[in-house]
Structure 1
């Protein structure tokens, strides 16, 4: 898995932890919403944040999925290299024997080698596309896992915003007391360990 893949996961996770609550809770009035009548902010909204990089690094589903995709990519590369070397050997052998072949034999052998090359390129493209589709499905599953768990988690806490905090992101400072990364991570890993699937968003089971 390359750097672009890691960037995709970061983007997916940031959307999962930030957008959900902005859309779902931002329109709800808060009893302790801030007031600026006298020029001072009083009692802000219930806002917490999740450290995106830390959550990715320690979420078992992400680690297992990344390892699985990396292994498949490694196996594909090895397979393509093996097939490529085999074809190169055939080409080299043909070049050595071409002078002893009739024109018809040479044309036939050359056409066969070209067909093998085309087939190998097509196989490479199809395999890469299939791996990319599998990665996209895993990205979607990651998003659903986190969204489902945070939705359930918030029923017990009533936050209005859950922000995604990452180095170089839009949030320049975050108070450590508002960090719920470990709580979210513990819940996600507990669910993943139990059955490998996200719990339903409407579950009432206490963590």
Structure 2
């Protein structure tokens, strides 16, 4: 499974448009430019919601890996027992065939569980990615309620924007606001339970 940060890679390339209106060059100490940027690397590394989501999915991934390891070990023990019994002549040919079929079915069930659990985790990650982007876009619309900016660009090292003046960077203001909203919302990602069975 890919790291959750890969799911948010699109954020660094996103251009978040805001309503057009005449700019005010002296408003609240903000940059006078019509286009500003947010450093997405800094934002993600310091946005408490994002950090909580990463912890949540790391925990879920860990629980899934442990569950799969236990199921696999149990299956391998059953296979080893079957092989010992078959070699010792402790079962009839018919018992051997039915046990083999049961073991094949069990192996398929484990693989299906793994695939379903991984798929569910990916769907949850996609939903959280969408929620993250929505949170940021919604906050930026509020942040730009005075129509100071025409556009807020997501900037990251190695991204599409190669240079931007530092006085156009609104990352810290946006980060502070997002973290305050998250703290005041009382929302925390669900505690990791074992994946859906």
The aligned counterpart of 2:38 is 50
Judging changes above 3 Å, is the alpha-carbon distance between structure 1 residues 31 and 55 closer, same or farther for their aligned structure 2 residues? closer
Give deviations 1:36-55, integer Å, cap 9, x for gaps.
Answer: xxxxxxxx852211101000
Q: Does 2:123 correspond to 1:133?
A: yes
Corresponding position: 1:85 with 2:53: no
Instruction: Compute the TM-score of the two structures, normalised by the length of structure 1.
Output: 0.80
**Superposition pairs for residues 1-207 of structure 1, below 5 Å?**
2-3=2-3, 5-12=4-11, 14-15=13-14, 18-21=15-18, 24-25=19-20, 45-98=33-86, 99-156=89-146, 158-196=148-186
Q: What are structure 2's unaligned runs of at least 5 residues?
A: 26-31, 188-197
Q: Are the counterparts in 1 of residues 37 and 171 from structure 2 also a CA contact under 8 Å? A: yes
Task: Tell me the CA shift for residue 195 of structure 1.
Answer: 0.9
Distance, in Å, in 2 between the alignment partners of 1:172 and 1:191 is: 31
The alignment covers a number of residue pairs equal to 179
- Return 5+ residue gaps in structure 1 as ranges: 33-43, 198-207
Which one has a larger percent helix, Structure 1 or Structure 2? Answer: 1
Structure with more contact order per residue of length (Cα contacts < 8 Å, sep ≥ 6): 2
Secondary structure of the equivalent of 1:156?
A: coil
Structure 1 stretches of 4+ with a deviation exceeding 6 A read 29-32
Instruction: Give the 3-state SS of the residue equivalent to 1:19 in structure 2.
Output: strand
Partner SS state of residue 37, structure 2: strand
